[in-house]
Structures are given as C-alpha cells and as structure tokens.
Amino acid sequence: MKDKTLKILLGIIALNLTAQTLKDVEIFPTAHAQSRPMQVVICDLSGIRCADTKRAGGGLDGIVIAQ
C-alpha cells in the first residue's frame, strides 16, 4: 500500500472513531416530552381565590380571576 493511501485510510478510521465517541458522549441531551398536557391552578397565598382560564377576544388564552 502506498503511503498516501495508508494516510487516507487511517484518517477515515480516525474520523469514524471520533464520530462514534461524540455520539456516545451526548453533548446535547435528549429532551423527552410528557404524554399529556400539565394542568396548573393559579391561586393566591391563602388558596381561596383561584384563577380560571377563558378564551380572550383575540383567540389567545387569558387568565380571569374567579371570585
């Protein structure tokens, strides 16, 4: 084998080993979503007055205080 061919082959092997190592290290962790939406209740400190959600005029969700 020629010297240039050997260097190219070793370079390809080194790149593949580097790619496999970076894949196993997980630099960017995998994010997992919940199976269903989480329900949240917003109340004052006493827990007596809580908010209710209704559709606002523009089609966006707004928070309306339920008395």
* Buried/exposed code over 31-42 (b: 16+ C-beta within 10 A; e: otherwise): eeeeeeeeeeee
Looking at residue 58, what DSSP letter applies? T
Q: How many domains does one find in the chain? A: 1
> pLDDT higher for 29 or 9?
9
Domain of residue 13: give its range: 3-65
Determine the pLDDT at residue 60: 45
Q: Work out the pLDDT band at 54, boundaries 50, 70, 90.
A: low
Render pLDDT for 10-51 as a digit per residue (tens, 0 to 9). Answer: 999 999 999 888 877 777 777 888 788 777 777 888 877 777
pTM of the predicted model as reported, rounded to 2 decimal places:
0.38
**Per-residue confidence (pLDDT) for residue 32, from 0 to 100:** 82
